[in-house]
A = this chain, B = another copy of it.
Amino acid sequence: MINRLYRLLQENLDPHKVLRDADILEGYSRDETPDMAAAPDILVRAENADDVSMTLKLCSEHKIPVTPRGAGTGVTGGALPVMQGVVLSLEKCNRILEIDRNNMVAVVEPGAVTGDIQKAALEQGLMYPPDPASLETCSIGGNVAEGAGGPRAVKYGTTKDYILGLEFVLPDGSLIQTGGKIVKNATGYNLAGILIGSEGTLAVITKIYLKLIPAPKVTLDILLPFDSLDQAIDAVHAVLMNRVIPAALEFMEQDAISLVSKHIQNTIPCADAGAHLLIQIDGNTEDQVLADLQTIVEAARINPDRMFVAQSPSQKERLWKARRSIRESIQAECGFFAAEDCVVPRAGIPQFVKDLKAYFHYKALRSVMFGHAGDGNVHIDILKDAIAYDEWKNMLPGIKREIYSRALACGGTITGEHGIGCLRKEYLPLALSSDAIDLSRRIKAAFDPGMILNPGKIFP
């Protein structure tokens, strides 16, 4: 069956787009999910929507699974062909088709790198705000499929807030367009709404209309040290209630600060603090940004001598270095860790973090927590340390269940950015009722009645 499909794909697409050399397939057997691999039988590198349509049509006819793949930067195994079959790579569909300055819209193909879109927009004085950590390598199609976030979500929202239109292909090969260069639309169901964050299980996206906004002229980064995480989160409320919405509002708790201090080359400012807030403010004029800074200092009741304000590129770099070095520091410290990204109502962050710390302490585990204070999105990294690999693998499910239960108990959910993928699908029933999962399965069947698209993901 696979041989026959291979021949048909070669006949119907250019042969150079259809590959099954073992060494090439090997390169498509991993994404950035730790400790997980699965190679496809066939790789298709689509170069346009027709290639995508033909591939899906043939795979539907042969009932062969198709796993769409962007840049492979996901961390929950979304791009891995866990049921084998075809990996449909969109990496060659990577053109930025248009930056429409007057309408403030970018039209792009799904394989375009998010950072490249940002640069192209900025050349026209415009900004595409979502900024996942993998910005420089991840593709916009993957961002849409995963509903990617990033530090700037607190002010600017996530990927879903910038999708004006999509062109996508259903598993039967039909091509559908929804929306376009329009910012309002009440014409039929919001099909883009359900596709965003559907992790490649409903359709394959072939074109994206992105909303752009005017780029701010001035940005300022500051680091505020606090004695405790409680004080830091109180300051977050005070800042927001004083009507300053920072472009980024990141927190690091004490263990994150200590670990980074230990492994980073340069010293980090205020390394003795109980918690850090790393804040970026942006605006139209220097006066406005400085007024916002003044508001923040007063609202957060910060001693101005203690805070660190970065204006030059090298100062900014120093400030963000600590935040960006957390994962690298954990790698250096213990080589291996588990990463979760729960969400809780913002006001619940301190209690959630303290309770989890107590639980990890009881389990004799070290952990590092940090994340997006403005969104209630808490990154929880648990260090393997000297625990034997098998024991670690055995204990992880219980630990995950405990973390998720605590997030849900305080009104949150199990993942805010990374998605469900393969990694969390067995835990979905903790977060969603069986009625909600059944409804989701029926929606899946409405798009993909043959169940060929990215099987083994999301659903338990």
Q: Which residues of A are in contact with B by a Cβ distance under 8 Å?
A: 100-105, 125, 146-147, 149, 153, 157-158, 160-161, 170, 174-194, 196-198, 213-217, 237, 240-245, 284-285, 287-288, 291-292, 295, 341, 343-347, 372, 375-377, 411-420, 428, 431-433, 435-437, 439-440, 442-443, 445-447, 458
User: Which of B184, B187, B237 contacts A376, CB < 8 Å?
Assistant: B184
Q: How far is the CA of A240 from the CA of B217 in the complex (A)?
A: 13
User: Which of B125, B146, B187, B341 contacts A241, CB < 8 Å?
Assistant: B125
User: Which of B174, B245, B344, B435 contacts A213, CB < 8 Å?
Assistant: B245
Known: A157-B161, A193-B193, A284-B295. 16 other contacts (CB 8 A): A100-B345, A101-B241, A104-B346, A147-B190, A149-B186, A170-B435, A176-B439, A181-B345, A188-B458, A189-B443, A190-B193, A192-B193, A214-B240, A215-B243, A287-B287, A439-B446
Q: How far is the CA of A157 from the CA of B184 in the complex (A)?
A: 9
Q: Taking each of A179, A182, A187, A414, which has the highest tally of chain B beta carbons within 10 Å of its own beta carbon? A: A187
User: Which of B146, B245, B291 contacts A214, CB < 8 Å?
Assistant: B245
User: Which of B178, B183, B213, B440 contacts A153, CB < 8 Å?
Assistant: B183
> Which residues of the partner chain B approach A174 to less than 8 Å between Cβ atoms?
435
B411 with A180: CB separation less than 8 A? yes
Shortest distance from the beta carbon of A91 to any chain B beta carbon, whole Å: 23
Q: Given contacts A190-B147, A190-B197, A287-B291, are A183 and B436 in contact (CB under 8 A)? A: no
Q: How far is the CA of A157 from the CA of B447 in the complex (A)?
A: 28
Quick one: copies of this chain in the complex?
A: 2
Shortest distance from the beta carbon of A192 to any chain B beta carbon, whole Å: 8
Q: Which residue of B lies closest to A443 (CB)?
A: B446
Q: How far is the CA of A411 from the CA of B178 in the complex (A)?
A: 11
Q: How far is the CA of A341 from the CA of B196 in the complex (A)?
A: 26
Q: How far is the CA of A44 from the CA of B192 in the complex (A)?
A: 34
List 6 tightest A-B contacts by C-beta distance, closest first.
A193-B193, A442-B446, A184-B416, A102-B347, A214-B243, A181-B345
Shortest distance from the beta carbon of A398 to any chain B beta carbon, whole Å: 20
Q: Which residue of B lies closest to A441 (CB)?
A: B446
Q: Which residue of B lies closest to A185 (CB)?
A: B413
Q: Given contacts A188-B420, A284-B243, A435-B174, are A375 and B183 in contact (CB under 8 A)? A: yes
B186 with A415: CB separation less than 8 A? yes
A413 with B182: CB separation less than 8 A? yes
> Which residues of the partner chain B approach A443 to less than 8 Å between Cβ atoms?
189, 194, 443, 446
A186 with B146: CB separation less than 8 A? yes
> Which residues of the partner chain B approach A190 to less than 8 Å between Cβ atoms?
147, 160, 193-194, 196-198
Shortest distance from the beta carbon of A122 to any chain B beta carbon, whole Å: 13
Shortest distance from the beta carbon of A417 to any chain B beta carbon, whole Å: 6
User: Which of B177, B196, B243, B435 contacts A433, CB < 8 Å?
Assistant: B177
Q: How far is the CA of A242 from the CA of B125 in the complex (A)?
A: 9
> Which residues of the partner chain B approach A103 to less than 8 Å between Cβ atoms?
345-347, 376
A431 with B188: CB separation less than 8 A? yes
Q: Which residue of B lies closest to A417 (CB)?
A: B186
